[in-house]
Amino acid sequence: MLIEYPLNLDAVLEYAGRWAYERNPAFYNFNEIGGDCTNFVSQCLYAGGAAMNPTPDTGWYYYSIEDRAPAWTGVRFFYEFMVNNTGIGPYGVDIPIEEIQVGDIIQLGKNDRFYHTLLVVAIRDGVPYVAAHSKDVFDIPLFAYIYEQRRCIRIIGSRREI
């Protein structure tokens, strides 16, 4: 049986602030092999209490660089897992940018290819401020990025087995 629970937003944001400009040695730094942005956002969600989903290939988990799910580190796979997950682990829904809140996720893209994952850490005057890896940032406005497309994900919570 699965139970649903909210993530600890304070823990998500605390982790983002702590590790935005550094790397947690418990996780591989993917900067040299495609970027570390989705790995960083996954770490933030995990720090907030999201349960790992250990399903091979289609889950959301990280045990080592050799033993991880594509959804932990890949922009497209992260999105597909979050908006389609009905099992263990975090889950969310697409939302319009006008509904963005602290703790939501924004992905940026071009030509229907999404390439960057950001965590919203503040909203000021209706503008989302984000944290990310690859180019390490914390609390910078979304308008600092140049992009053609964006999609927003509200993480509703997580599920775990009881």
Output the pLDDT for position 90: 98
The mean pLDDT of the chain is 97
Evaluate if residue 34 carries a pLDDT over 90.
no
Spans of all domains in the chain: 2-161
Whether the CB-CB separation of 123 and 100 falls below 8 Å is answered with yes
- Which is it for the CA torsion 25, 114, 66, 31, positive or negative? negative
Q: What tens digit of pLDDT does each residue of 111-141 get?
A: 989 999 999 999 999 999 999 999 999 999 9
Whether the CB-CB separation of 2 and 87 falls below 8 Å is answered with yes
Q: What tens digit of pLDDT does each residue of 82-116 get?
A: 999 999 999 999 999 999 999 999 999 999 899 99
Q: What tens digit of pLDDT does each residue of 42-72 get?
A: 999 999 999 999 999 899 999 999 999 999 9
* pTM passes above 0.95: yes
Output the pLDDT for position 83: 98
- Which is it for the CA torsion 92, 52, 133, 8, positive or negative? positive
The CATH architecture one would assign to domain 2-161 is Alpha-Beta Complex (3.90)
Evaluate if residue 14 carries a pLDDT over 90.
yes
